[in-house]
Chains A and B, each alone.
Chain A
Protein backbone atom coordinates (compact mmCIF):
# COMPACT_ATOMS: atom_id res chain seq x y z
CA UNK A 1 0.00 0.00 0.00
CA UNK A 2 2.68 2.39 0.97
CA UNK A 3 4.59 2.29 -2.29
CA UNK A 4 1.38 2.62 -4.24
CA UNK A 5 0.17 5.78 -2.45
CA UNK A 6 3.51 7.44 -2.69
CA UNK A 7 3.61 6.85 -6.40
CA UNK A 8 0.11 8.17 -6.92
CA UNK A 9 0.76 11.42 -5.08
CA UNK A 10 3.82 12.08 -7.14
CA UNK A 11 1.93 11.67 -10.35
CA UNK A 12 -0.85 14.06 -9.24
CA UNK A 13 1.72 16.72 -8.48
CA UNK A 14 3.31 16.26 -11.88
CA UNK A 15 0.03 16.60 -13.67
CA UNK A 16 -0.83 19.80 -11.80
CA UNK A 17 2.54 21.26 -12.60
CA UNK A 18 1.77 20.97 -16.25
CA UNK A 19 -1.33 23.08 -15.90
CA UNK A 20 -0.16 25.87 -13.56
CA UNK A 21 3.26 27.53 -13.34
CA UNK A 22 5.14 26.56 -10.15
CA UNK A 23 5.34 30.11 -8.76
CA UNK A 24 1.56 30.30 -8.71
CA UNK A 25 1.49 27.84 -5.82
CA UNK A 26 1.46 28.64 -2.15
CA UNK A 27 1.97 26.33 0.79
CA UNK A 28 0.50 26.80 4.26
CA UNK A 29 3.32 27.09 6.82
CA UNK A 30 1.08 25.49 9.44
CA UNK A 31 -0.45 22.39 7.85
CA UNK A 32 1.45 22.10 4.58
CA UNK A 33 -1.68 22.50 2.49
CA UNK A 34 -0.82 23.44 -1.09
CA UNK A 35 -3.11 25.65 -3.10
CA UNK A 36 -2.93 28.22 -5.84
CA UNK A 37 -1.82 31.58 -4.52
CA UNK A 38 -4.89 33.25 -5.87
CA UNK A 39 -7.05 31.10 -3.63
CA UNK A 40 -4.96 32.05 -0.57
CA UNK A 41 -5.23 35.68 -1.59
CA UNK A 42 -9.00 35.56 -2.04
CA UNK A 43 -9.22 34.15 1.48
CA UNK A 44 -7.06 37.09 2.75
CA UNK A 45 -4.13 34.67 3.13
CA UNK A 46 -6.05 32.42 5.49
CA UNK A 47 -5.40 28.74 4.80
CA UNK A 48 -8.55 27.15 3.35
CA UNK A 49 -7.61 23.87 4.97
CA UNK A 50 -6.57 24.71 8.57
CA UNK A 51 -7.53 28.38 9.01
CA UNK A 52 -3.96 29.47 9.69
CA UNK A 53 -3.64 33.24 9.32
CA UNK A 54 -0.55 33.89 7.22
CA UNK A 55 1.33 37.15 7.61
CA UNK A 56 0.08 39.94 5.35
CA UNK A 57 1.50 43.38 4.71
CA UNK A 58 0.50 46.56 6.53
CA UNK A 59 -0.87 47.79 3.20
CA UNK A 60 -3.14 44.75 2.98
CA UNK A 61 -4.64 45.47 6.42
CA UNK A 62 -5.41 48.99 5.27
CA UNK A 63 -7.20 47.57 2.22
CA UNK A 64 -9.14 45.15 4.40
CA UNK A 65 -10.21 47.69 7.01
CA UNK A 66 -10.57 51.00 5.19
CA UNK A 67 -13.11 51.97 2.50
CA UNK A 68 -11.66 51.88 -1.01
CA UNK A 69 -9.77 55.02 -1.91
CA UNK A 70 -10.41 56.76 1.40
CA UNK A 71 -7.02 56.21 3.03
CA UNK A 72 -4.58 59.08 3.35
CA UNK A 73 -1.17 58.29 4.77
CA UNK A 74 0.15 60.64 7.46
CA UNK A 75 3.57 61.40 8.90
CA UNK A 76 5.36 59.44 6.18
CA UNK A 77 8.27 61.86 6.29
CA UNK A 78 9.35 60.56 9.74
CA UNK A 79 12.62 58.64 9.66
CA UNK A 80 14.54 56.83 12.35
CA UNK A 81 17.76 58.30 13.53
CA UNK A 82 20.81 56.64 15.05
CA UNK A 83 20.62 58.72 18.22
CA UNK A 84 22.91 56.47 20.27
CA UNK A 85 25.55 55.83 17.61
CA UNK A 86 24.63 52.16 17.93
CA UNK A 87 26.96 50.03 15.82
CA UNK A 88 25.33 48.72 12.68
CA UNK A 89 22.01 50.52 13.19
CA UNK A 90 22.19 52.82 10.15
CA UNK A 91 23.00 49.87 7.96
CA UNK A 92 20.13 47.87 9.47
CA UNK A 93 17.73 50.73 8.80
CA UNK A 94 18.79 51.01 5.17
CA UNK A 95 18.45 47.30 4.52
CA UNK A 96 15.11 47.16 6.36
CA UNK A 97 13.77 49.97 4.17
CA UNK A 98 14.85 48.12 1.04
CA UNK A 99 13.44 44.82 2.22
CA UNK A 100 10.12 46.11 3.54
CA UNK A 101 9.65 48.89 0.99
CA UNK A 102 8.54 51.17 3.83
CA UNK A 103 10.35 53.65 6.04
CA UNK A 104 9.63 52.30 9.48
CA UNK A 105 7.65 49.79 11.51
CA UNK A 106 4.25 51.41 11.12
CA UNK A 107 2.03 53.03 8.48
CA UNK A 108 -0.21 55.75 9.91
CA UNK A 109 -3.13 57.52 8.32
CA UNK A 110 -6.79 58.33 8.28
CA UNK A 111 -9.73 57.15 6.24
CA UNK A 112 -13.24 55.88 6.56
CA UNK A 113 -14.48 52.50 7.71
CA UNK A 114 -17.99 51.89 6.36
CA UNK A 115 -18.25 55.66 6.17
CA UNK A 116 -17.02 56.32 9.70
CA UNK A 117 -13.93 58.55 9.93
CA UNK A 118 -11.12 56.76 11.75
CA UNK A 119 -7.41 57.12 12.41
CA UNK A 120 -5.46 53.98 11.70
CA UNK A 121 -1.96 52.73 12.39
CA UNK A 122 -0.76 49.38 11.09
CA UNK A 123 2.55 47.95 12.20
CA UNK A 124 4.77 46.28 9.65
CA UNK A 125 6.56 43.20 10.97
CA UNK A 126 8.78 43.13 7.88
CA UNK A 127 10.53 46.29 9.05
CA UNK A 128 12.97 45.11 11.73
CA UNK A 129 10.41 42.77 13.26
CA UNK A 130 7.94 45.59 13.78
CA UNK A 131 10.20 46.89 16.52
CA UNK A 132 9.14 50.10 18.23
CA UNK A 133 11.63 52.94 18.20
CA UNK A 134 11.13 56.69 18.22
CA UNK A 135 9.38 56.79 14.84
CA UNK A 136 6.78 54.15 15.72
CA UNK A 137 6.21 55.85 19.08
CA UNK A 138 5.90 59.28 17.47
CA UNK A 139 3.46 58.13 14.80
CA UNK A 140 1.27 56.42 17.40
CA UNK A 141 1.45 59.54 19.58
CA UNK A 142 0.39 61.75 16.67
CA UNK A 143 -2.46 59.41 15.80
CA UNK A 144 -3.71 59.56 19.39
CA UNK A 145 -3.51 63.36 19.33
CA UNK A 146 -5.34 63.43 16.00
CA UNK A 147 -8.06 61.20 17.44
CA UNK A 148 -8.37 63.53 20.42
CA UNK A 149 -8.56 66.57 18.19
CA UNK A 150 -11.11 65.18 15.74
CA UNK A 151 -12.81 62.93 18.26
CA UNK A 152 -12.38 60.18 15.71
CA UNK A 153 -11.90 56.57 16.77
CA UNK A 154 -8.42 55.11 16.77
CA UNK A 155 -7.54 51.68 15.40
CA UNK A 156 -4.06 50.23 15.86
CA UNK A 157 -3.04 46.93 14.27
CA UNK A 158 0.00 45.56 16.10
CA UNK A 159 2.68 43.17 14.87
CA UNK A 160 5.87 43.52 16.82
CA UNK A 161 8.60 41.73 18.69
CA UNK A 162 8.86 44.70 21.06
CA UNK A 163 11.03 47.74 21.63
CA UNK A 164 13.90 48.45 19.23
CA UNK A 165 17.20 47.67 20.96
CA UNK A 166 19.22 49.99 18.74
CA UNK A 167 17.47 53.04 20.18
CA UNK A 168 18.07 51.87 23.73
CA UNK A 169 16.09 53.51 26.47
CA UNK A 170 14.58 55.97 23.96
CA UNK A 171 12.57 53.02 22.62
CA UNK A 172 11.47 52.13 26.13
CA UNK A 173 10.25 55.69 26.65
CA UNK A 174 7.95 55.37 23.64
CA UNK A 175 5.86 53.05 25.81
CA UNK A 176 5.55 55.82 28.38
CA UNK A 177 4.90 58.50 25.77
CA UNK A 178 2.07 56.65 24.03
CA UNK A 179 0.57 55.49 27.34
CA UNK A 180 0.42 58.99 28.82
CA UNK A 181 -1.46 60.15 25.73
CA UNK A 182 -3.65 57.06 25.74
CA UNK A 183 -4.82 58.01 29.23
CA UNK A 184 -6.12 61.26 27.73
CA UNK A 185 -7.83 59.49 24.87
CA UNK A 186 -9.65 57.17 27.25
CA UNK A 187 -10.88 60.06 29.37
CA UNK A 188 -12.10 61.90 26.27
CA UNK A 189 -14.55 59.15 25.44
CA UNK A 190 -13.00 58.51 22.05
CA UNK A 191 -12.92 54.80 21.27
CA UNK A 192 -9.73 52.88 20.63
CA UNK A 193 -9.74 49.42 19.07
CA UNK A 194 -6.55 47.40 19.35
CA UNK A 195 -6.05 44.55 16.88
CA UNK A 196 -3.25 42.16 17.75
CA UNK A 197 -1.74 40.07 14.98
CA UNK A 198 1.06 37.53 14.94
CA UNK A 199 3.24 38.27 16.90
CA UNK A 200 2.49 40.99 19.44
CA UNK A 201 5.04 40.81 22.25
CA UNK A 202 7.39 42.89 24.41
CA UNK A 203 7.10 46.64 24.65
CA UNK A 204 4.20 46.88 22.22
CA UNK A 205 2.03 44.32 24.01
CA UNK A 206 3.01 45.96 27.32
CA UNK A 207 1.75 49.34 26.13
CA UNK A 208 -0.76 50.38 23.47
CA UNK A 209 -1.64 46.92 22.14
CA UNK A 210 -3.16 45.97 25.51
CA UNK A 211 -4.78 49.36 26.13
CA UNK A 212 -7.72 49.09 23.74
CA UNK A 213 -11.22 49.79 24.91
CA UNK A 214 -11.70 46.67 22.88
CA UNK A 215 -8.78 44.29 22.36
CA UNK A 216 -9.19 42.03 19.34
CA UNK A 217 -6.79 39.35 18.16
CA UNK A 218 -6.37 37.30 15.00
CA UNK A 219 -6.70 33.53 15.38
CA UNK A 220 -3.49 31.79 16.37
CA UNK A 221 -1.52 35.01 16.86
CA UNK A 222 1.25 34.74 19.47
CA UNK A 223 0.63 37.43 22.08
CA UNK A 224 2.51 37.95 25.31
CA UNK A 225 5.04 39.97 27.22
CA UNK A 226 8.03 37.66 26.98
CA UNK A 227 8.67 35.79 23.77
CA UNK A 228 8.19 31.99 23.85
CA UNK A 229 11.95 31.42 23.48
CA UNK A 230 12.81 33.52 26.54
CA UNK A 231 10.18 31.78 28.66
CA UNK A 232 11.39 28.36 27.55
CA UNK A 233 14.92 29.33 28.53
CA UNK A 234 13.80 30.66 31.92
CA UNK A 235 11.69 27.72 32.99
CA UNK A 236 13.84 25.11 31.26
CA UNK A 237 10.97 23.20 29.73
CA UNK A 238 8.74 23.25 26.67
CA UNK A 239 5.69 25.47 26.70
CA UNK A 240 2.26 23.84 26.82
CA UNK A 241 0.42 23.56 23.49
CA UNK A 242 -1.38 26.73 22.53
CA UNK A 243 0.38 28.81 25.20
CA UNK A 244 0.33 32.55 24.38
CA UNK A 245 -1.99 32.14 21.42
CA UNK A 246 -4.86 34.56 20.83
CA UNK A 247 -7.26 31.85 21.98
CA UNK A 248 -5.25 31.35 25.20
CA UNK A 249 -5.38 35.08 25.91
CA UNK A 250 -9.10 35.15 25.23
CA UNK A 251 -9.65 32.28 27.66
CA UNK A 252 -7.51 34.05 30.28
CA UNK A 253 -9.41 37.30 29.95
CA UNK A 254 -6.79 39.44 28.22
CA UNK A 255 -8.48 39.95 24.84
CA UNK A 256 -12.15 40.58 24.20
CA UNK A 257 -12.49 38.44 21.12
CA UNK A 258 -10.55 36.37 18.63
CA UNK A 259 -11.78 37.53 15.23
CA UNK A 260 -10.98 35.83 11.91
CA UNK A 261 -9.47 38.14 9.33
CA UNK A 262 -12.53 37.89 7.09
CA UNK A 263 -14.73 39.29 9.87
CA UNK A 264 -12.34 41.98 11.11
CA UNK A 265 -13.77 44.87 9.12
CA UNK A 266 -17.39 44.10 9.96
CA UNK A 267 -16.63 43.52 13.65
CA UNK A 268 -14.67 46.75 14.08
CA UNK A 269 -17.29 48.75 12.16
CA UNK A 270 -20.11 47.28 14.18
CA UNK A 271 -18.54 47.82 17.59
CA UNK A 272 -17.34 51.33 16.72
CA UNK A 273 -20.77 52.42 15.55
CA UNK A 274 -22.18 51.43 18.90
CA UNK A 275 -19.37 53.12 20.82
CA UNK A 276 -19.35 56.52 19.17
CA UNK A 277 -22.16 58.71 20.29
CA UNK A 278 -25.09 59.39 17.96
CA UNK A 279 -24.31 63.13 17.55
CA UNK A 280 -20.80 62.28 16.40
CA UNK A 281 -22.23 59.97 13.77
CA UNK A 282 -24.63 62.63 12.54
CA UNK A 283 -21.84 65.16 12.23
CA UNK A 284 -20.07 62.86 9.83
CA UNK A 285 -23.03 62.15 7.55
Chain B
Protein backbone atom coordinates (compact mmCIF):
# COMPACT_ATOMS: atom_id res chain seq x y z
CA UNK B 1 0.00 0.00 0.00
CA UNK B 2 2.97 2.28 0.56
CA UNK B 3 3.32 2.64 -3.17
CA UNK B 4 -0.14 4.12 -3.62
CA UNK B 5 0.97 6.83 -1.23
CA UNK B 6 3.93 7.75 -3.42
CA UNK B 7 4.10 11.51 -3.81
CA UNK B 8 6.42 13.78 -5.69
CA UNK B 9 8.13 16.46 -3.60
CA UNK B 10 6.01 19.29 -4.99
CA UNK B 11 2.84 17.26 -4.36
CA UNK B 12 3.42 17.36 -0.60
CA UNK B 13 0.74 19.99 0.18
CA UNK B 14 -1.73 17.88 -1.82
CA UNK B 15 -0.76 14.75 0.09
CA UNK B 16 -1.12 16.51 3.44
CA UNK B 17 -4.58 17.77 2.64
CA UNK B 18 -5.58 14.35 1.33
CA UNK B 19 -4.41 12.86 4.61
CA UNK B 20 -6.35 15.42 6.60
CA UNK B 21 -9.54 14.62 4.69
CA UNK B 22 -9.01 10.89 5.07
CA UNK B 23 -8.39 11.31 8.81
CA UNK B 24 -11.58 13.31 9.23
CA UNK B 25 -13.54 10.75 7.25
CA UNK B 26 -12.08 7.93 9.36
CA UNK B 27 -13.00 9.67 12.60
CA UNK B 28 -16.50 10.37 11.33
CA UNK B 29 -16.95 6.73 10.35
CA UNK B 30 -15.68 5.52 13.75
CA UNK B 31 -17.96 7.85 15.72
CA UNK B 32 -20.84 7.77 13.25
CA UNK B 33 -20.73 11.51 12.81
CA UNK B 34 -21.88 13.54 9.82
CA UNK B 35 -18.88 15.62 8.73
CA UNK B 36 -20.01 16.37 5.18
CA UNK B 37 -20.18 20.04 6.06
CA UNK B 38 -16.55 19.99 7.20
CA UNK B 39 -15.25 17.85 4.34
CA UNK B 40 -16.84 19.69 1.42
CA UNK B 41 -14.77 22.88 1.76
CA UNK B 42 -11.61 20.81 2.28
CA UNK B 43 -12.27 18.92 -0.93
CA UNK B 44 -12.87 22.16 -2.79
CA UNK B 45 -9.59 23.40 -1.37
CA UNK B 46 -7.89 20.18 -2.51
CA UNK B 47 -9.20 20.62 -6.05
CA UNK B 48 -7.95 24.22 -6.09
CA UNK B 49 -4.59 23.18 -4.73
CA UNK B 50 -4.21 20.45 -7.37
CA UNK B 51 -5.13 22.86 -10.13
CA UNK B 52 -2.83 25.56 -8.82
CA UNK B 53 0.19 23.29 -8.34
CA UNK B 54 -0.27 21.61 -11.71
CA UNK B 55 -0.82 24.87 -13.51
CA UNK B 56 2.64 26.11 -12.69
CA UNK B 57 4.79 22.99 -13.01
CA UNK B 58 8.37 23.53 -14.13
CA UNK B 59 9.60 21.39 -17.05
CA UNK B 60 11.54 19.12 -14.69
CA UNK B 61 8.46 18.69 -12.48
CA UNK B 62 6.56 17.61 -15.59
CA UNK B 63 9.30 15.08 -16.26
CA UNK B 64 8.65 13.74 -12.77
CA UNK B 65 4.91 13.56 -13.41
CA UNK B 66 5.50 11.84 -16.76
CA UNK B 67 7.59 9.23 -14.90
CA UNK B 68 5.20 8.94 -11.94
CA UNK B 69 5.04 5.29 -10.81
CA UNK B 70 1.24 5.52 -10.47
CA UNK B 71 0.72 7.10 -13.88
CA UNK B 72 -1.61 5.10 -16.16
CA UNK B 73 0.33 2.92 -18.59
CA UNK B 74 -0.64 1.43 -21.94
CA UNK B 75 -2.51 -1.54 -20.42
CA UNK B 76 -4.46 0.83 -18.15
CA UNK B 77 -5.69 2.75 -21.17
CA UNK B 78 -6.37 -0.50 -23.01
CA UNK B 79 -8.65 -1.53 -20.15
CA UNK B 80 -10.48 1.80 -20.06
CA UNK B 81 -10.55 3.28 -23.56
CA UNK B 82 -10.72 0.09 -25.65
CA UNK B 83 -12.73 -3.10 -25.59
CA UNK B 84 -12.13 -6.66 -26.78
CA UNK B 85 -8.33 -6.36 -26.52
CA UNK B 86 -6.56 -9.47 -27.76
CA UNK B 87 -2.85 -9.28 -27.11
CA UNK B 88 -0.61 -10.54 -29.90
CA UNK B 89 2.89 -11.45 -28.89
CA UNK B 90 6.26 -12.05 -30.48
CA UNK B 91 8.29 -10.83 -33.41
CA UNK B 92 8.38 -14.28 -35.10
CA UNK B 93 12.14 -13.98 -35.18
CA UNK B 94 13.54 -14.18 -31.67
CA UNK B 95 11.13 -13.74 -28.76
CA UNK B 96 8.35 -11.67 -27.28
CA UNK B 97 9.43 -8.37 -25.76
CA UNK B 98 7.14 -7.48 -22.82
CA UNK B 99 8.38 -3.85 -22.92
CA UNK B 100 5.95 -3.38 -25.81
CA UNK B 101 2.40 -4.71 -25.85
CA UNK B 102 0.07 -4.77 -28.80
CA UNK B 103 -2.92 -6.37 -30.40
CA UNK B 104 -6.39 -5.98 -31.83
CA UNK B 105 -8.93 -3.96 -29.87
CA UNK B 106 -12.02 -1.88 -30.50
CA UNK B 107 -12.25 1.87 -30.15
CA UNK B 108 -15.99 2.63 -29.89
CA UNK B 109 -16.72 -0.51 -31.97
CA UNK B 110 -14.10 0.25 -34.65
CA UNK B 111 -11.37 -2.43 -34.87
CA UNK B 112 -7.94 -0.90 -34.35
CA UNK B 113 -4.40 -2.13 -33.75
CA UNK B 114 -3.11 -0.77 -30.46
CA UNK B 115 0.62 -0.86 -29.76
CA UNK B 116 2.34 0.72 -26.79
CA UNK B 117 5.34 0.73 -24.51
CA UNK B 118 4.58 -0.94 -21.19
CA UNK B 119 6.27 -0.11 -17.91
CA UNK B 120 5.93 -2.22 -14.78
CA UNK B 121 3.95 -1.21 -11.72
CA UNK B 122 6.34 -2.82 -9.24
CA UNK B 123 9.94 -4.04 -9.21
CA UNK B 124 9.06 -7.54 -10.30
CA UNK B 125 6.98 -6.40 -13.24
CA UNK B 126 9.53 -3.75 -14.12
CA UNK B 127 12.23 -6.38 -14.37
CA UNK B 128 10.03 -8.40 -16.71
CA UNK B 129 9.12 -5.35 -18.78
CA UNK B 130 12.60 -3.87 -18.58
CA UNK B 131 11.17 -0.56 -17.28
CA UNK B 132 9.47 -0.04 -20.63
CA UNK B 133 12.77 -0.03 -22.52
CA UNK B 134 12.36 -2.23 -25.62
CA UNK B 135 14.84 -4.52 -27.30
CA UNK B 136 14.86 -4.76 -31.12
CA UNK B 137 12.35 -7.61 -30.97
CA UNK B 138 9.84 -5.24 -29.37
CA UNK B 139 10.09 -2.89 -32.32
CA UNK B 140 9.96 -5.80 -34.76
CA UNK B 141 6.82 -7.10 -33.07
CA UNK B 142 5.31 -3.62 -33.36
CA UNK B 143 6.14 -3.54 -37.06
CA UNK B 144 4.61 -6.98 -37.60
CA UNK B 145 1.39 -5.76 -36.02
CA UNK B 146 1.40 -2.56 -38.07
CA UNK B 147 1.70 -4.55 -41.26
CA UNK B 148 -1.17 -6.74 -40.09
CA UNK B 149 -3.30 -3.65 -39.52
CA UNK B 150 -2.39 -2.43 -42.99
CA UNK B 151 -3.52 -5.70 -44.56
CA UNK B 152 -6.89 -5.47 -42.84
CA UNK B 153 -7.31 -1.71 -43.35
CA UNK B 154 -7.40 -0.92 -39.65
CA UNK B 155 -5.93 2.23 -38.07
CA UNK B 156 -2.86 1.86 -35.88
CA UNK B 157 -2.91 3.59 -32.50
CA UNK B 158 0.38 3.76 -30.65
CA UNK B 159 0.84 4.79 -27.02
CA UNK B 160 4.31 6.10 -26.23
CA UNK B 161 5.82 5.76 -22.77
CA UNK B 162 9.48 4.81 -22.57
CA UNK B 163 12.71 6.15 -21.09
CA UNK B 164 14.28 5.00 -24.38
CA UNK B 165 15.36 1.96 -26.36
CA UNK B 166 17.40 -0.34 -24.14
CA UNK B 167 21.17 0.24 -24.34
CA UNK B 168 22.39 -3.30 -23.63
CA UNK B 169 24.53 -6.04 -25.13
CA UNK B 170 21.74 -8.20 -26.56
CA UNK B 171 19.90 -5.17 -27.90
CA UNK B 172 22.98 -3.99 -29.80
CA UNK B 173 23.84 -7.50 -30.97
CA UNK B 174 20.39 -7.95 -32.47
CA UNK B 175 20.38 -4.56 -34.17
CA UNK B 176 18.63 -1.92 -32.06
CA UNK B 177 19.57 0.77 -34.57
CA UNK B 178 18.39 -1.31 -37.53
CA UNK B 179 15.08 -2.13 -35.84
CA UNK B 180 14.32 1.54 -35.13
CA UNK B 181 15.48 2.66 -38.59
CA UNK B 182 13.29 0.04 -40.26
CA UNK B 183 10.22 1.01 -38.24
CA UNK B 184 10.69 4.65 -39.21
CA UNK B 185 10.95 3.84 -42.88
CA UNK B 186 8.05 1.38 -42.85
CA UNK B 187 5.84 3.73 -40.85
CA UNK B 188 6.67 6.44 -43.36
CA UNK B 189 5.18 4.27 -46.08
CA UNK B 190 2.40 2.47 -44.19
CA UNK B 191 -0.87 2.47 -46.13
CA UNK B 192 -3.10 2.72 -43.09
CA UNK B 193 -3.54 5.61 -40.64
CA UNK B 194 -1.25 5.92 -37.63
CA UNK B 195 -2.24 7.95 -34.59
CA UNK B 196 0.42 8.24 -31.92
CA UNK B 197 -0.13 9.47 -28.38
CA UNK B 198 2.65 10.31 -25.94
CA UNK B 199 1.05 9.19 -22.68
CA UNK B 200 4.11 9.53 -20.43
CA UNK B 201 7.78 9.58 -21.32
CA UNK B 202 8.74 10.11 -24.94
CA UNK B 203 12.35 8.99 -24.72
CA UNK B 204 14.16 9.79 -27.95
CA UNK B 205 14.57 7.26 -30.80
CA UNK B 206 13.02 4.52 -28.69
CA UNK B 207 9.82 6.58 -28.56
CA UNK B 208 9.95 7.78 -32.15
CA UNK B 209 10.12 4.17 -33.37
CA UNK B 210 6.41 3.99 -32.47
CA UNK B 211 5.78 7.66 -33.15
CA UNK B 212 5.97 8.47 -36.86
CA UNK B 213 2.30 9.18 -37.38
CA UNK B 214 -0.43 11.04 -39.25
CA UNK B 215 -1.53 12.59 -35.98
CA UNK B 216 0.58 13.06 -32.88
CA UNK B 217 -1.25 13.74 -29.64
CA UNK B 218 0.35 14.36 -26.30
CA UNK B 219 -1.06 14.16 -22.80
CA UNK B 220 -0.78 17.45 -20.94
CA UNK B 221 1.95 16.29 -18.57
CA UNK B 222 3.76 13.98 -20.97
CA UNK B 223 7.24 14.84 -22.22
CA UNK B 224 9.03 14.15 -25.48
CA UNK B 225 12.75 14.69 -25.81
CA UNK B 226 15.81 13.85 -27.86
CA UNK B 227 17.68 12.99 -24.63
CA UNK B 228 16.80 12.77 -20.93
CA UNK B 229 17.48 15.97 -18.94
CA UNK B 230 19.93 13.97 -16.82
CA UNK B 231 21.80 12.70 -19.88
CA UNK B 232 21.87 16.14 -21.44
CA UNK B 233 23.20 17.76 -18.27
CA UNK B 234 25.88 15.09 -17.92
CA UNK B 235 27.12 15.60 -21.48
CA UNK B 236 26.91 19.39 -21.70
CA UNK B 237 27.84 20.44 -18.20
CA UNK B 238 29.38 17.25 -16.88
CA UNK B 239 26.92 17.40 -14.02
CA UNK B 240 23.69 15.38 -13.85
CA UNK B 241 22.38 17.61 -11.04
CA UNK B 242 21.89 20.33 -13.64
CA UNK B 243 18.83 18.43 -14.89
CA UNK B 244 16.41 21.35 -14.22
CA UNK B 245 18.54 23.56 -16.43
CA UNK B 246 18.59 20.86 -19.13
CA UNK B 247 14.83 20.25 -18.87
CA UNK B 248 14.25 23.97 -19.45
CA UNK B 249 16.63 24.10 -22.40
CA UNK B 250 15.37 20.98 -24.19
CA UNK B 251 11.79 22.28 -24.67
CA UNK B 252 10.24 18.92 -23.93
CA UNK B 253 6.76 19.73 -22.59
CA UNK B 254 3.53 19.27 -24.51
CA UNK B 255 3.10 23.03 -24.96
CA UNK B 256 6.68 23.34 -26.21
CA UNK B 257 6.05 20.64 -28.80
CA UNK B 258 2.81 22.24 -29.87
CA UNK B 259 4.61 25.55 -30.34
CA UNK B 260 7.27 23.80 -32.42
CA UNK B 261 4.52 22.39 -34.65
CA UNK B 262 5.27 18.76 -33.84
CA UNK B 263 2.24 17.91 -31.73
CA UNK B 264 -1.23 18.21 -33.26
CA UNK B 265 -3.21 18.32 -30.04
CA UNK B 266 -2.68 18.31 -26.31
CA UNK B 267 -5.00 15.97 -24.42
CA UNK B 268 -5.95 17.59 -21.09
CA UNK B 269 -5.29 15.66 -17.90
CA UNK B 270 -7.45 15.77 -14.77
CA UNK B 271 -6.36 18.23 -12.09
CA UNK B 272 -3.47 16.67 -10.20
CA UNK B 273 -2.30 14.69 -13.24
CA UNK B 274 -3.38 11.43 -14.87
CA UNK B 275 -2.25 9.42 -11.83
CA UNK B 276 -4.69 11.30 -9.58
CA UNK B 277 -7.61 10.18 -11.75
CA UNK B 278 -6.84 7.45 -14.33
CA UNK B 279 -10.49 7.17 -15.34
CA UNK B 280 -10.64 10.88 -16.08
CA UNK B 281 -7.44 10.67 -18.10
CA UNK B 282 -8.82 7.72 -20.07
CA UNK B 283 -12.03 9.62 -20.80
CA UNK B 284 -10.08 12.55 -22.25
CA UNK B 285 -7.98 10.20 -24.37
CA UNK B 286 -11.09 8.40 -25.63
CA UNK B 287 -12.67 11.69 -26.59
CA UNK B 288 -9.58 12.82 -28.51
CA UNK B 289 -9.09 9.49 -30.31
CA UNK B 290 -12.77 9.35 -31.23
CA UNK B 291 -12.32 12.64 -33.09
CA UNK B 292 -8.96 12.01 -34.73
CA UNK B 293 -9.32 8.39 -35.85
CA UNK B 294 -12.34 8.92 -38.16
CA UNK B 295 -10.66 11.99 -39.68
CA UNK B 296 -7.67 10.05 -40.92
CA UNK B 297 -9.40 6.69 -41.40
CA UNK B 298 -11.50 8.15 -44.20
CA UNK B 299 -8.54 9.18 -46.33
CA UNK B 300 -7.41 7.39 -49.45
CA UNK B 301 -4.15 5.52 -48.63
CA UNK B 302 -2.13 7.42 -51.24
CA UNK B 303 -3.45 10.76 -50.02
CA UNK B 304 -2.80 9.73 -46.42
CA UNK B 305 0.77 8.82 -47.24
CA UNK B 306 1.40 12.07 -49.12
CA UNK B 307 0.09 14.13 -46.24
CA UNK B 308 2.18 12.17 -43.74
CA UNK B 309 5.39 12.64 -45.74
CA UNK B 310 4.64 16.33 -46.33
CA UNK B 311 4.01 16.87 -42.64
CA UNK B 312 7.44 15.52 -41.67
CA UNK B 313 9.08 17.11 -44.70
CA UNK B 314 8.38 20.53 -43.20
CA UNK B 315 9.92 19.75 -39.80
CA UNK B 316 13.14 21.47 -38.82
CA UNK B 317 14.34 25.04 -38.57
CA UNK B 318 17.30 26.52 -40.42
CA UNK B 319 18.27 29.61 -42.35
CA UNK B 320 19.48 29.97 -45.92
CA UNK B 321 22.40 32.38 -45.92
Contact = CB atoms under 8 A, between A and B. Distances in A.
Contact of A81 (B165, B256, B319): B319
Contacts of B168: 231, 234-235
Interface in B209-262: 209, 211-212, 224-227, 232, 235-236, 245, 249-252, 256-257, 260, 262
A169 interface: yes
B317 A83 contact: yes
Contacts of A45: none
Interface string A130-146: 00011101100100000
A197 interface: no
A168 B251 contact: yes
B309 A226 contact: no
Interface stretch (B19-27, B175-183, B279-287, B291-299): B175-183
B184 interface: yes
A174 B315 contact: yes
Given A165-B236, A169-B251, A177 B315 contact: yes
B278 interface: no
Given A169-B224, A169-B260, A210 B181 contact: yes
B41 interface: no
A84 B251 contact: yes
B181 A176 contact: no
Contact of A165 (B208, B226, B321): B226
Nearest to B310: A180
A36 interface: no
Question: What bracket does the count of chain B residues touching chain A fall in?
Answer: 35 or more
A169 B172 contact: no
Contacts of A239: 169
Contacts of A7: none
Nearest to B311: A180
Given A165-B236, A175-B205, A181 B188 contact: yes
Given A79-B321, A177-B313, A187 B236 contact: no
Nearest to A196: B177
A120 to B, nearest CB: 20
A168 B224 CA distance: 9
B318 A138 contact: yes
Which one of A103, A201, A226 has the highest number of Cβ atoms from chain B below 10 Å of its Cβ?
A: A226
A86 interface: yes
Interface in A53-103: 77-81, 83-84, 86-88, 103
Contacts of B227: 163, 165
B169 A231 contact: yes
B181 A211 contact: yes
B308 interface: yes
A225 B172 contact: yes
B260 A230 contact: no
A78 B181 CA distance: 25
A21 B86 CA distance: 74
Question: What bracket does the count of chain A residues touching chain B fall in?
Answer: 35 or more
Contact of B315 (A79, A81, A173, A208): A173
Interface in B186-217: 186-189, 204-205, 208-209, 211-212
B316 A134 contact: yes
Contact of B185 (A84, A182, A224): A182
Contact of A134 (B175, B249, B317): B317
B318 A253 contact: no
B177 A138 contact: no
Interface in A137-191: 137-138, 141, 163-165, 167-177, 179-184, 186-187
A138 B47 CA distance: 47
B176 A206 contact: yes
Contacts of A230: 167
A87 B174 CA distance: 37
Contact of B316 (A177, A179, A202, A244): A177
Interface in B137-188: 165-169, 171-178, 180-182, 184-188
A254 interface: yes
Contact of B320 (A77, A87, A172, A210): A77
A207 interface: yes
Contact of B189 (A86, A168, A187): A187
Nearest to B202: A169
A205 interface: yes
A177 B257 CA distance: 16
A79 B257 contact: no
B176 A226 contact: yes
A243 interface: yes
Nearest to B320: A77
Contact of B252 (A169, A179, A244): A169
Closest 4 CB pairs of A and B: A226-B167, A180-B188, A134-B316, A179-B184
Interface of A: 77-81, 83-84, 86-88, 103, 133-135, 137-138, 141, 163-165, 167-177, 179-184, 186-187, 201-203, 205-211, 223-226, 230-231, 234-235, 239-240, 243-244, 252-254
Interface of B: 165-169, 171-178, 180-182, 184-189, 204-205, 208-209, 211-212, 224-227, 232, 235-236, 245, 249-252, 256-257, 260, 262, 308-309, 312-313, 315-321
23 contacts: A79-B320, A81-B319, A84-B251, A86-B250, A137-B315, A137-B316, A138-B318, A165-B250, A168-B225, A168-B226, A170-B260, A175-B205, A176-B208, A179-B184, A179-B187, A180-B185, A206-B165, A225-B167, A225-B177, A226-B176, A234-B167, A235-B168, A240-B169
